Amino acid sequence: MTPVVVSVKEKVVSAVVRLSCAVIGPPPVTLPDVEAGRGGEWSADVAGTASPKVQLIAKTEFFPPEDVPWSTDADGGEALAEFAGRACYQSWKKPNPKTATNAGYIDHIIEVGHLSVLEHGSATFYITGISRSLTHELIRHRHFSYSQLSQRYVPERDAAFVEPEVIANDPELHEKFLAAAQASVDAYTELLTGLEDKFADAPSATLRRKQARQAARAVLPNATETRIVVTGNYRAWRHFVAMRATEHADVEIRALAVECLRQLQKVAGNVFADFTISTLPDGTEIASSPKVLEG
């Protein structure tokens, strides 16, 4: 099951989405007087749907040293991982045909657990349309680097909310969720107005707004939509996928892990080739590898 993104400001728009950006589930409920969320930054199509996005925004570039008698059939982080591994033993020649290619070499270092060389390559994603509940779990992965939307500086009057599909597919529960989301925005807006008046004598407008927002955000739920930049080395990404793409993980973060894996397999296919994606009976996806040695 995948989440629903609900955009709330005075009235509500609900949308059912997958991280792969395919729209699924029941038709969206659209009420009049809907305004774009957060100053118009929230992307919505003509059907009123908004899709979580995982966008690759940076990856490793490798410049092989000219004085080393070695070459490979890959580039970027994959080539860097091989170079780092060979540098440990100065094994620039390739007498073993099984490790003569980049794919063969990386497969071997994964198999023997020489994973430190995978820490030299990295990938960065800009992830939007996910819940604060998800990022509370995400930031437990300590080897990633994060830059997340600040609720102290960004007002949440136009907040969007991520609704679990199990709730969205039940009309009665869906209405309760919409009501709760609306109530939280109403409470936030009222608190924010009162707090801005309370801090009217603050020495600067920026300080006044920050003090008001940091207090008013206390009533916003885990379902509040957020945006985050995540950078991780290949080893950290492998660990994230191994831990979060299993059927035991929360549905929302599992979908994120599977989508990240798909994009990582395009960026550094040899590093993530051992992972396979499969579909569970309920239609959701998982990913696994027989070569994951750390948990």
- Spell out, as residue ranges, where the chain has pLDDT lower than 50: 9-50
**Cα–Cα distance measured from residue 222 to residue 243, given in angstroms and rounded to the nearest whole number:** 21
Residue 41 and residue 166 in one domain? yes
The pair of three-digit structure tokens given for residue 248, joined into one six-digit string: 């035991």
Each residue's pLDDT tens digit, 150-204 = 999 999 998 999 999 999 999 999 999 999 999 999 999 999 999 999 999 989 9
Tell me which DSSP letter residue 128 carries. E
Q: How many domains does the chain have?
A: 2
Of these residues, 235, 238, 244, 254, which one is catalytic? 244
Residue 216 lies in a domain: no
Amino acid at 291: K
Residue 167 and residue 22 in one domain? yes
Residue 99 and residue 130 in one domain? no
- The per-residue b/e assignment along 217-236, b for 16 or more CB within 10 angstroms, e otherwise, is bebbbebbbbbbbbbbbbbb
End-to-end CA distance of the chain: 25
Residue 114 lies in a domain: yes
Phi and psi, residue 178, nearest 5°: -60, -40
Name the residue range of residue 102's domain.
63-119
Q: Which of 78, 101, 119 is the last residue of a domain?
A: 119
Prediction pTM value: 0.84
Dihedral of CA 173/176/182/183: which sign? negative
Residue 199 lies in a domain: no
Residue 159 and residue 230 in one domain? yes
Residue 176 lies in a domain: yes
**Cα–Cα distance measured from residue 222 to residue 167, given in angstroms and rounded to the nearest whole number:** 15
Residue 114 and residue 11 in one domain? no
State yes or no: is 244 an active-site residue: yes
- Residue 261 has a CB neighbour count (10 Å cut-off) of 24
Residue 200 lies in a domain: no
Residue 209 lies in a domain: no
- CATH code: domain of residue 226: 3.30.70.3180
Residue 115 and residue 130 in one domain? no
The pLDDT assigned to 3 comes to: 67
Residue 174 and residue 266 in one domain? yes
Residue 106 and residue 239 in one domain? no
Hey, what's the torsion of the CAs at 182, 186, 187, 191, to 10 degrees? 150
Residue 214 lies in a domain: no
Alpha-carbon 189 to chain mean position: 28
Residue 110 and residue 4 in one domain? no
Q: Which of 98, 119, 140 is the last residue of a domain?
A: 119
Residue 70 and residue 143 in one domain? no
Tell me which DSSP letter residue 281 carries. T
Residue 33 lies in a domain: yes
Residue 107 and residue 244 in one domain? no
Q: Which of 72, 93, 119 is the last residue of a domain?
A: 119
Residue 25 and residue 80 in one domain? no
